[in-house]
Amino acid sequence: MSSTTVVNPKPKFELKMGVATREAYGQALVELGKKDPNVVVLDADLAKSTFSAKFQKEFPDRFFTCGIAEANMVGIAGGLALAGKLPFASSFAVFLCDKGYDQLRMCVAYPGVNAKFVGSHGGISIGEDGPSQQAVEDYALMCALAGFVVLSPSDEFCARALVHRMAEHHGPVYMRTGRAKASIIYGAGDTFEIGKANQHGDGCDVAIIACGFEVSYSLQAQAQLAEEGIQARVLDMHTIKPVDEDAIAKAARECGAIVTAEEHLLDGGLGSQVARAVARTHPVPMEFVGIQNTYAESATPEQLMEKYGLTAPYIVQAVRAVLKRKTRSL
Amino acid sequence: MSTTADLTTVPRIDSIAELKRLANRLRIDIVKMIGAAGSGHPGGSLSEVELLSALYFRVLRHNPNDPNWPDRDRFILSKGHGCPALYAVLAEAGYLDHSVLSTLRKLGSPLQGHPDKRFLPVLEANTGSLGQGISIGIGMALAARLDKKDYHTFVMAGDGEIQEGQNWEAAMFAPYHKLQNLTVIIDYNHQQLDGFTKDILDVSPLREKFEAFGWHAVEIDGHDFEQVIPALENACSGKNGKPTCIVANTIKGKGVSFMENNPEWHGVAPKPDQVAAAVKELEAAKSKL
């Protein structure tokens, strides 16, 4: 991807709360439905939670609830796409990706059909429902399907725009959305492209590369670090695959140290994607914020993000650690 | 129909005697192909020959001169390991040059070990991980309904394959949505890799199970064209108001006596002398047709 990366030079840290990215998905689906009669939406008895119910209300004839049967739903999406329709199938990320995985591979990735999948309730920030409902491996699973684009938007503007980009992209796409309300990072004028990071600030001491909810925590960390005289840039890497290698290489060259932050197991997610790009283009010290080889538990979203090391102070801590290594390596 | 194809080019064999000769010829192709490949699944390929022949030469609306004809009927081989029979049928129907059959499973061949439309675009779906074809077929049947097209979607599954749970998710969905433009054919050859289906995880009674799920379900002899053709024609007649399941009793390895009803021939290629013996037996049978 060529890099005409968007730069918002002023760090923002007092963020207003917006709607959840899952709600933005529902809104965008309705917009798509009005624009394209070929769009068909499937859900697996979670339409009210994924917000695909918004589409159902507007276009009942083009909406199919498949019941609690994700494997069949993914296969149907594959069949619809093979017959020329543009299917969007949604459920909780953990059920869609984990229960539908063989079908995502056989009926979607392997034949390379034009079908779209949206997993809501990603990460541990869903809170009290606990680990059985918390997708902490969806990035890794979906990145391991050849040809898939994998997205994780940070706020409602990003999510809504990416739903439209998904529809425009020919081929399989997965997007994670969140249950909790998301801080507003962007405005109506911001643009988003698949495979292109959105940059916040142009600090050159360290680059923080994050996706999903971790972007707002990274912006908080950026503000705190600035008070200490550390100038960080934040890259919103909403596209985990194909990752924006140009922006990563540039960040590595200009900053000399990188921290990644994701609401996902450290195995096979954003950190792994970024590390590969860094190793290939411009090796620099890296630290990784993410879930450490465990499943979480029931609690409020805030308690969980704190306990499992995903909030701004942990990103700050990781920055300090990586800066020590950067100094040593100079 | 929104478009018209030149249906005069659609292969059609009216005579049952000629269909029987075709089935015999296809069996010879299958044995030779798998023998030349040195691997493959002869048993389940030989059991589905009459079903595929009836589909491609009597029932499906398709056009080898226009494989992407939007209104064509769809066929999905959910039991993907049975693809040598499908490849032989496609060659016979004019989609492939007959000489391509000997490239089965070889590097760069359009005839992959399991159906792969990236290499052979005339295939409707990629299959090989069992239990998924009915769901794909439902997607196509829903698309036909949304697009107001009258094409019919046929899916062939194996009886062992029916053990996969996804089939039963799909079995609930199709009648609930009254998908009368969908037909599932079960090649009930009573065997799977490890032995007889009844000894591994008995799927019987299949017709009753599908009926209980809301399908129009019939049971036939899957080698008897006089039963196969009317069952398929009835399935796409639009008169049933629900999806149709045809439980077709067949014999695994049909036509080659040393393969018939022997689970050992699920996924083993015949050696050159075995190919010769099988072809000799099939040639002899042909002279009696």
Q: How confident is the model at residue B17 (pLDDT cuts 50, 70, 90)?
A: very high
- In angstroms, rounded to a whole number, what is the distance separating the alpha carbons of residues B23 and B12? 14
pLDDT tens per residue across span A1-38:
344 455 555 555 678 999 999 999 999 999 999 999 99
With an 8 Å Cβ cutoff, is B10 touching chain A? Answer: no
Residue B212 scores a pLDDT above 60: yes
- For the CA atoms of A32, A34, A40, A43, what is the dihedral angle to 10 degrees? 70
Contact at CB, A79 and B128, closer than 8 angstroms: no
B221: β partners: B249
- Does the global pTM surpass 0.90? yes
- Measure B147 CA to nearest chain A CA, in Å: 9
Residue B1 scores a pLDDT above 60: no
What is the predicted pLDDT for the residue at A15? 86
Provide the percentage of residues in chain B whose pLDDT is more than 70: 97
With an 8 Å Cβ cutoff, is B128 touching chain A? Answer: yes
DSSP A251: H
Q: How confident is the model at residue B11 (pLDDT cuts 50, 70, 90)?
A: confident
Outline which parts of chain A fall under CATH 3.40.50.970: 21-176
Contact at CB, B142 and A74, closer than 8 angstroms: no
What is the predicted pLDDT for the residue at A175? 98
Mean pLDDT of B13-24: 97
* pLDDT < 70 positions in chain A: 1-13, 328-330
pLDDT tens per residue across span B66-108:
999 999 999 999 999 999 999 999 999 999 999 999 999 999 9
Tokens (6 digits) for A18: 């917006």
Mean pLDDT of B188-193: 96
What is the predicted pLDDT for the residue at B3? 42
Return the residue matching tokens 């990706």: A97
- In angstroms, rounded to a whole number, what is the distance separating the alpha carbons of residues A216 and A222? 10
- In angstroms, rounded to a whole number, what is the distance separating the alpha carbons of residues B85 and A295? 48
Outline which parts of chain A fall under CATH 3.40.50.920: 6-16+190-329
- In angstroms, rounded to a whole number, what is the distance separating the alpha carbons of residues B190 and B170? 22
Task: Tell me which chain A residues have a C-beta less than 8 angstroms from the C-beta of B132.
Answer: 71, 75, 102-103, 106-107
Contact at CB, B138 and A75, closer than 8 angstroms: yes
Taking domain A6-16+190-329, whether its CATH number is 2.60.40.790 is answered by: no
For chain B, the domains span 16-287
- In angstroms, rounded to a whole number, what is the distance separating the alpha carbons of residues A313 and A319? 10
**What are the catalytic residues of A?**
70
What is the predicted pLDDT for the residue at A3? 47
Contact at CB, A102 and B139, closer than 8 angstroms: no
Q: What is the CATH number of domain B16-287?
A: 3.40.50.970
Question: How deeply is B263 buried, as exposed, middle or buried, from its count of CB atoms within 10 A (0-12, 13-18, 19+)?
Answer: buried
Q: How many residues make up chain A in this entry? A: 330
pLDDT tens per residue across span B214-233:
999 999 999 999 999 999 99
A21-176: CATH homologous superfamily? Answer: Thiamin diphosphate (ThDP)-binding fold, Pyr/PP domains (3.40.50.970)
Residue B8 scores a pLDDT above 70: no
With an 8 Å Cβ cutoff, is A188 touching chain B? Answer: no
The answer to whether A27 and A50 are in contact (CB under 8 A) is no
